[in-house]
Structure 1
Amino acid sequence: MKNSIFNPLVISCFVFACPAYAAGLSGVSERSAGQLEEVQVTGSSLANRGLADAEAASVGTVLAAQIAHRPALRPAELLETIPGMVVTQHSGDGKANQYFLRGFNLDHGSDFANYVDGMPINMVSHGHGQGYTDLNFLIPELVDRIVYRKGPYYAEAGDFSSAGTARTSYARAMANQTVKLTAGENDYARLLAFGGVAAADGQLVYAFESQQNDGPWQLPEGFDKANGVLKYSGGDRKQGYSLTAMAYEADWTSTDQIPQRLVAEGSVDRYGSLDDSTGGDTHRYSLSAEIWSVLNDGLNLQSQFYVVDYALRLSSNASYYSRDNSDDPEVRGDQFTQFDNRLTLGGQLDFTQALSAVHELRYGGEWRLDDINDVGVGFSQRGLIYDLFASAAVEEQALGVYSSVHSQWTAWFASIAGLRYQTIDVAVADKLDATAGGSDREALLSPKLSLRFGPFATTEFFINYGEGFHSNDARGVVRRESAVPLISSSVGYELGMRSLLANDIQLSVVAFRLDLDSELVFVGDESTTEPRDASRRQGLEVSVFYQPVDWFVLDMDVASSETEFKQLQVDEGQVLGKYVPDSVEQVFAMGASIDLDNGVYGGLRLRYFGPRKLTEGGDVESAASKSVNANIGYRFSNGISLGLEIVNALDERDDDITYYYASRTLSERNAGIEPQLDRHSHPMEPRTYRGTLAYHF
């Protein structure tokens, strides 16, 4: 992609001038289409957007009450409240999860943007993979809401948002204090103290968490996590502020995916490992501020600022002994260690201006700087690098300005028209080859348009169009050979319908298409992502929410999609096929929850994760997986509560993740056998029981 010829000043003037012209038009509604009215109910996220308030049928807000009794294995599984989202893991508990949505294997977050209290979580030019999204620092008990928007239809959404965005917010106030102890099989233990207190003129929310876990693996994971949050807030989300400090550290030994040929022949246990020194350690320390201001009548400002200190060191071995020459007496194996040390700082200014009874203008800008002191990878033994083959310092700066006009033209027709102008500048200093670094700059203009028709009685329809993008790793952008573009664009389309079938049944149906200029594909034997050719994905999503009484909720989500490269993939003259490896095709999720006045509460979740094509030709597929998680508990009148959680309640022997690539074991290497193509899987954890004792005061 060539640098844009558009001048940023000209674009900014165009973005802000067009909405001002629209302000002169008249209309009938007293509320703009952009205002989002929340319905405070427990249940499906669909229920938390009222008719005549949403921008698309694929947006939603998940409230704290919906999370409170939801059984889950990992913190990031909170994102499975987003219809069609699947969260898995192929390594240790301290590593970022694998995310699947809308036909994507998002790997660790490549095309879905995540924010926590206004801070972007996706990492650019990361040591393990572009868009790396580690949410293991999340404390579910503190979450106040998750606002999600699928697709690239929103001007305020920037990098990594082609598939959508999720914005998670911690509570600004809590009425009680809680001490919570959870214990389970495989030396699982979690101690959490959290709550809220009045302090000066505001509210202080705090949480301190300690967790350990060995897991079901033959090689004990030894996962240790320490986590803390302090959040001080004053005022409200119209005129107020929040100041937040977070600190998170973790270390672990991981059991990576293993070849199925060894499991089938019985030489390696299903929960076994071929390298007992893989694993890692990480930390994340952050300070952030959010400020809500009313500047004058009709003009509001939301400001966000943050600074994050982050580091990761990760040792992996996906192919075991494929690199070693069989005749070489020295055996080293294929283990490699990736590292990343950075400081990230930035902020966003978001203005909303009521222009008339018909039009509302939203505009703003965001800036982000990643100062990466050292990012690289080297071959290692037992986590110690002996052959460092990539090490660089990277400075990456992103600036985006945007504007959108929210217009309620009639009682049954509304529109949102927007533009985003994005620039990204990178500078790479290679620490091993002074001639290999360089710099680059690219810019992109992305139009957006959303149309809403209705509500007609209790049904409304949506048409959405938007262009988005993801950035690519700066190190691959500046290299002299086989360079990739800094920005890869996307185009998304969506048709949607939402309806209240009855007072207690809500339905959402969405058909979507998304075209990417370049696909980011996970490479199993290298444990990283690489940019590939243009792709297209399209699919259908259906969400149903049913709440006949206030203490019972039932919800169901179905998603089906197909993903293909736009051209046949060819490698050294051999035609491979057109499928994007490991793209999700079918997802089904269903859940029920109860919360009775007598103190009894519980939840039940079923998830089906369909088979996935593992090669471009589609001739090799993964198996489907299904899991059932459940919990039940009782709150006593004296503040004590007891709970039992069962993960994988049916004890399914399915896999969390499967890849297809070549590997070789030590015995195969010694026998002179070449690396063999095979499925490599990481199993779901077996049925696991966890009990919780909590005291609320």
Structure 2
Amino acid sequence: MKNRLIHGLLANVAVAFSLTAVPVYAGGVHGEIEEMLVTDHVANRQQGEAEAASVGTVLSEQIEHRPMLRPAEVLETVPGMVITQHSGGGKANQYFLRGFNLDHSTDFANYFEGAPVNMVTHGHGQGYSDLNFLTPELIDKLVYKKGPYHASGGDFSSAGSARISYFKQLQTQTLKVSGGEDGYRRALLLGGGESAGGHWVYSVAKMVDDGPWTIPDELERDNIFIKHSRGDAHSGLSISALYFDSTWNGTDQIPQREVDAGNLSRYDSLDDSTGGETHRYQLSMQQWHALSERQRITSTAYVVDYGLELSGNFTYFANDPLLGDQVTQFDDRVLFGGELGYEWDLNAVHALDLGLGLRVDDIRDVGVGKSVNRQIYAMDSRASVEEVAYSAHASVNSQWSEKFATVVGLRYDQFSVEVDDKLNAANDGDEQDQVLSPKLSVRFGPFADTTFFVNFGQGYHSNDARGVVGGGVPLLSESEGYELGLINTSLDGLQLSLVVFKLDLDSELVFVGDDGTTEAKDATTRTGLELSLYYRPTDWLVLDVDYTTSDAEFSEGEFDGDNVPDSIDDVVSAGLSIESGKGYYGGLRLRYFGPRYLTEDGERQSKSTLVVNANVGVELSDAMSLSLEVLNVFDREDDDITYWYESRPTPGAALVEDYHSHPMIPRTLRVSVTYQF
């Protein structure tokens, strides 16, 4: 592998190329069957010409009045997605989708303003995806694509991907002040205007929250965002900058036996010094330009400064009865890169899409050590890592007839990693790997308002470079997926979609609760079914229901059973929203995810979890509104997450296998006042 200077030069060439290139066509997604987007305030699905039944776009109107506990819950607009937490509120969330416990988003790729969010060779876990920096009020749209069927999807996208974009222009200023139980406070100022030949959008936010925990969360988030855009749908430029900083205390999962014995309450902790701090500083640029009526070029460039220090204690005194088992993980890096795309409508039937990508992670310091009160006293691992990923993809979109279309795609990815182990030079080294991933999407219809889809694709996820160089883990683990789907719009105002899917992975990354990290395990197979219904019977009422059932199994018999621990089988989400047009609005959301196998043999299962959130709002004047948000309406004592492993809660206690859970918050009220000027 070349040195850092060459890596930086390559990345800067890509950035310069994207800045000087005649820049992105604003309508549609590259190289895929053209999408017709229904833009009224209830549509959250791409319809008509979409390339799969499991592809959709969520618009700002669907997020505006949605009750949410966490910023990342905007992803619960993706049918079947569940967002939870197993520690302090500043840590990346747990993600569940299509039979995956995605941990902190391994195998689901997230992008923000064109920049990747998932972290390779991360201090806590491969693919770590922290979306706590999001400001939901600024989201213009979220485009999601499930499965490895799309040539634009690269690392971590076997289960799917989501791309989040903020508004390019706002004409009013908004001040929103919120307060609630358990010390929750939030102030948000956002807006925009016109100057310097373009549009400006900005936001400044401050949030603090203690939560219901015996040891207060003391969660703080500082968030600043600014974006300048110019041009129109045919040619333009957008540059954005993000500042995000957060600190918090952690309340890790606790053993159920201690709660049953009355030694702990549901909201207690066995280590009052866990927690962390993190930051994300991002600068990104996106350009678009129509070279002619048939040719378009796009470019994206980004640079991200990222850091994390995270202390956790999952087994308490199991390994060290004197000092305890607290560990502190750390990550300090800069990542930068870009993408360049070219679209060419060859004729009335065929369109060509080409893309190039580069990502460089300069990980200056990553590792973990034993700690007390977040102070490391014995380093277990420490390294600096350079990781470079190149990609190229091509696809041909063919509209053979009014009722038959295909997309044939091919993606190439090459990875190079170099590890400098700061504790043991014997673990130094470098590796390279590459993968070629074919893609195919076929659409039939519509026939009597029903469109049918067949999808196939291969994908991959990268593995932690330290495990690759020092532990014999393959750098790239491949996946292969199949999908049959349909969308039906026979009834006025109703959209129904049905999907049957299968996904095979060469290697499963499984979260290890007693270690707090992900571990590469055996090959797996997932099969499942998704059913989604969206109904707008009137202009003021919207109903939606999503149901997903899936089965995840190890396919090669590595364990005393074939169940993938903590994989989710059944998910139901449903909601209604009211937009009266007479000065008031409201919403109700229900989310259920069923019992999950916690061990490979299936002998241990978690309980199911059900939560209902609601909100109601009223416009006091043309400029001011008042809203009430109720989280966990029925005050259920369910758990956000459950694991099964050994722990020792006190130095003299026995080492015992047990359920370890992190509870949902109790019923919580939050009030917001919003003023526009």
| Bucket of the pairwise TM-score, normalised by the shorter protein | over 0.9
Contact 2:33–2:405 (8 Å) recurs in 1 = no
Contact 2:109–2:157 (8 Å) recurs in 1 = yes
Give 1:295 shift.
2.0
Give 1:598 shift.
1.3
Aligned to 2:580: 596
Q: Percent identity?
A: 54
Partner secondary structure for residue 65 of structure 1: helix
Deviations 1:250-304 (CA, angstroms, capped at 9, x unpaired): 0000100000000011101110000000000001001000001112331111111
2-structure distance, mates of 1:665, 1:151: 41
Aligned to 2:489: 500
Partner secondary structure for residue 190 of structure 1: strand
Aligned to 1:680: 660
1:655 aligns with 2:636: no
Aligned to 2:3: none
Contact 1:33–1:407 (8 Å) recurs in 2 = no
Give 1:595 shift.
1.0
Equivalent AA in structure 1 for residue 501 of structure 2: F
Partner secondary structure for residue 36 of structure 2: coil
Partner secondary structure for residue 137 of structure 2: helix
1:350 to 341, 349, 367: 341
Aligned to 2:76: 80
2-structure distance, mates of 1:414, 1:379: 57
Contact 2:283–2:303 (8 Å) recurs in 1 = yes
2-structure distance, mates of 1:568, 1:644: 51
Equivalent pairs counted in the alignment come to 648
Partner secondary structure for residue 261 of structure 1: helix
2:147 to 126, 151, 156: 151
Contact 1:552–1:594 (8 Å) recurs in 2 = yes
Give 1:596 shift.
1.6
Structure 1, unmatched stretches of 5+, are 1-30, 326-330, 571-575
Contact 1:661–1:677 (8 Å) recurs in 2 = yes
Alignment of 1:229-308 (within 5 A): 229-308=225-304
2-structure distance, mates of 1:665, 1:101: 32
Partner secondary structure for residue 466 of structure 2: helix
2-structure distance, mates of 1:43, 1:638: 23
1-structure distance, mates of 2:430, 2:576: 52
1-structure distance, mates of 2:569, 2:297: 41
Aligned to 1:68: 64
Aligned to 1:469: 460
1:192 aligns with 2:188: yes
Contact 2:594–2:608 (8 Å) recurs in 1 = yes
Aligned to 1:695: 675
TM (normalized to structure 2)? 0.95
Q: Cα RMSD (Å) of the superposition?
A: 1.1
2-structure distance, mates of 1:100, 1:60: 18
Alignment of 1:173-572 (within 5 A): 173-324=169-320, 331-479=322-470, 482-570=471-559
Contact 1:552–1:593 (8 Å) recurs in 2 = yes
Contact 2:460–2:476 (8 Å) recurs in 1 = yes
Give 1:175 shift.
2.0
2:88 to 87, 92, 107: 92
Give 1:33 shift.
6.5
2-structure distance, mates of 1:50, 1:238: 23
Aligned to 2:7: none
2-structure distance, mates of 1:399, 1:188: 43
2-structure distance, mates of 1:32, 1:634: 44
Contact 2:65–2:586 (8 Å) recurs in 1 = yes
Give 1:236 shift.
2.7
1-structure distance, mates of 2:488, 2:285: 38
Aligned to 1:619: 603
Partner secondary structure for residue 478 of structure 1: helix
Aligned to 1:606: 590
Equivalent AA in structure 2 for residue 606 of structure 1: L
1-structure distance, mates of 2:452, 2:74: 28
TM (normalized to structure 1)? 0.92
1:578 aligns with 2:562: yes
2:47 to 45, 50, 58: 50
Aligned to 1:37: 36
Equivalent AA in structure 2 for residue 95 of structure 1: K
1-structure distance, mates of 2:290, 2:40: 28
Equivalent AA in structure 2 for residue 676 of structure 1: V
2-structure distance, mates of 1:119, 1:32: 20
Structure 2, unmatched stretches of 5+, are 1-29
Aligned to 1:12: none
Alignment of 1:152-171 (within 5 A): 152-171=148-167
Equivalent AA in structure 1 for residue 450 of structure 2: T
Contact 1:182–1:693 (8 Å) recurs in 2 = yes
Partner secondary structure for residue 277 of structure 1: coil
2-structure distance, mates of 1:132, 1:44: 30
Aligned to 1:18: none
Deviations 1:31-65 (CA, angstroms, capped at 9, x unpaired): 9972222110223523xx231x1000000000000
Give 1:396 shift.
0.3
2-structure distance, mates of 1:195, 1:397: 37
Contact 2:32–2:395 (8 Å) recurs in 1 = no
